[in-house]
Amino acid sequence: MSKFKKIFLIICPFVLAYIFCLPGKLFKESPCAILQSADGTLLGARISADGQWYFPPAKEVPDKFAKCIVCYEDKRFWWHPGIDFLSIGRAVRQNFTKGEVVSGASTLTMQVIRLSRPDAPRSIGEKILEAVLATRLELRHSKRKILLLYASNAPFGGNVVGLEAAAWRYFGRPADALSWAESAMLAVLPNSPALIHPGRNRERLLEKRNYLLDKLCDKGVIDELECELAKDEPLPDKPLPMPDKAYHLLERMRATEGDKAYTCDIDPALQERVSAIARNHFEIYHQNLVDNMGILVQSVHSGDILAYYGNTRGLAPGLRGADVDMIPAARSSGSTLKPLLYAAMLQRGQILPGTLIKDTPYNYNNFSPHNFSRTFDGAVPANEVIERSLNVPSVRMLERYGAPDFLTLLQEMGFTTINKDADHYGLSLILGGAEITLETLVGAYRRMAAKLTEDDAPDIPLGRGAIWLTFDALSRAGRPEEEASWMGFSSGRKIAWKTGTSWGNRDAWCVGVTPDYVVGVWVGNSDGEGRAQMTGVGYASPVMFDVFSALPASRWFSKPLDDLVPIEVCHQSGLPASHICPDRDTVWVPDIKVRPDECKYHKIVHLDADRQWLVNSSCYPVEKMVEEVRFVLPPAMEWYYIKNHIDYRPLPPKHPDFDSGSDGSNPIEILYPQQGITVVTTRGLDGKEQGVVVRAAHTDPSAVLYWHLDDTYIGRTSGEHDLMLRPEPGAHLLVAMDANGASRSVYFTVK
């Protein structure tokens, strides 16, 4: 065996041992969960599982801290190979002279090795091993990387580990935003971390900091003025609480992916403003025992979440339900889905914006909805149904559109919590019978807005024309049905907005949209307790308008002329004008082939010469008849409509000799009870049954109606056709008949 081969065999194990002596991963990280905005602003942090504030390593060490730590700990750091032989010589000389250890010679690289081996003994052998490993670390990483390893894992007092955590814990801002004085204070801490203890060692800490500042000045890193100004800066009084500006968002991320660094698109300034708005309104709402609130702001263009306020946590001691994140929480939708139905019916061609929708008492399998005001208008234009959020016309619209089709549309719009079949929801789907989340509500309105503003918007089953008409109607929400306090909102911008209030005043909603932003608000109690007077308009809308006031003003949506066409409609019915409609409007409607039928409410009628009677050839000479075009509603619609429209002219009564047999229409309509309804009677204070008031309408104001219950005559009415009955429990047949033989009947049940 040659001499060189023997030397190789002897040296090779040592070389291999040196190459592989350094572990691949030096530090076992147990990082905090932190949430940062896109610009690096810290929005929230949670202490790590081992009870330490340890942030995930930054990309690089800030320049000020790098200069401070190198000047204080290792002045030849940038040139030595991991071991500073000059420092070793100095330390040996000083320690030998003093007869004890008064000086060390550890470089920053060696300190990184020591930090990575916290359980290793403090001995000469360990020191030698640290030196060997330090040289190996120098071969693996650049000086900048080694400095970053040190800054990320050095102790900074108490349970604070790493420069970034220390900067936020002691100064409330990121490390790259620290002053020279603050950077110097942190640079001296790893050498003596106990000095940061509040109330103790402050003089010693100040002395060390100022000593380092003087060294920086001597080396020309800072000038004398900077040095003196830095010395005048006070030390921090005590550790600061970590920012917690988006508590529920961070907790939601942690629940999904654990503790790590998260980045989000939240605008820090807007998040703070939204939190302040929530706090201001909470102080008022809390007096009515309304304790919880969720606010979500989304960009229409990018889809980014710009503000995420999950609940009122921290606003009052022991506040109930404040830890619940209300943004993904499923709650009754109230009236918030009505605009989607309106848009869908426009898109399908079932209605036009001004189409009259029947607003009279309604019953379907004992489902009897009421408008918020407990009144009826008889007939209401479809766009006004949305503006006023009327319940009964909305239910009639859903019945016509089809609950299964509407359910499919909602699911395509992203409402994942509406996951049962149409039979489960029935027609209550439009009035809050389904549960939605604030997140999916805002997302749906954002999809509609993006369809109007973005070329690459996700495809949805609603056309641009129908969406624009819907937003136009919502922007004119001048008569919210809940109350009139909307008039106090002083927003100087055009917003399409919709409120919602669930049954029992358990949930108050409001969602608003402009071409740039969508703002959604939920107010209520997370445990489901309702509160009197809590409505979408009264509680959620003021919050939404305040949030929009904190956002930049937006222009309004451009009218999509390529998806709209002008047509002539009847001024009164809103339907395509027939040849006899006297007043016509030109309106924009979606450019689709299907249209509602022509106006059916304008009819040609024949009157006597004095226009006092309806006549026909059986009772009046044809040559003397006066022909007129009149707007005529069916009896029930007319009965309610005339109360709110003083300009409506009902037809005059029929001539006494009028032959009704030639007219196939039924002049009678029973308003209450409706077909198939179950009536529950109550007892008064005297113990007697209160009874049931039956009601009907007749096209002839002077007509007399004769009432029968179960084939038994029970009375007559004229003018206002109201009659008190006290039927026995069970099924009944009610019949109303006029003198000309016209009749109407309904079956109902009494409990």
Residues carrying an active site annotation: 73, 335
Whole-Å CA distances, 692 to 414, 715, 728, 730, 747: 45, 14, 11, 13, 14
Residues 6+ apart with CB under 8 A from 99: none
Which residue type occupies 739?
A
Q: How far is CA 433 from CA 293, 328, 737, in A?
A: 21, 18, 38
Q: Return the residue matching tokens 């308009």.
A: 537
Task: Count the helix, strand and coil residues of the chain and give each as a percent rounded to the nearest 5.
Answer: 35, 20, 45
H helix and E strand count, the chain: 21, 26
- Pick from 376, 406, 351: nearest CA to 481: 376
Return the SS3 of 163. Answer: helix
Could you tell me the sign of the dihedral formed by the alpha carbons of 574, 580, 585, 590, in that order?
Answer: positive
For the record, the structure tokens of 612 come out as: 């006092």
- What's the token pair of residue 510? 């409001």
CA atoms within 13 A on the CB side of 147: 23
Q: What 3-state class would DSSP assign to 457?
A: coil
* Pairing label, strands 678-679, 743-750: parallel
Q: Angle 464-475/338-348 helices, nearest 10 degrees?
A: 140
Burial of 460 (0-12, 13-18, 19+ CB in 10 A): middle
Could you give the dihedral angle defined by the CA atoms of residues 146, 148, 153 and 158, in that order, rounded to the nearest 10 degrees? 130
114 and 106 Cβ atoms separated by less than 8 Å? yes
Give me the helices (H) in 107-259, please: 108-116, 124-140, 143-153, 163-171, 180-188, 202-218, 224-232, 247-257
509 φ/ψ angles, rounded to the nearest 5 degrees: -115, 155
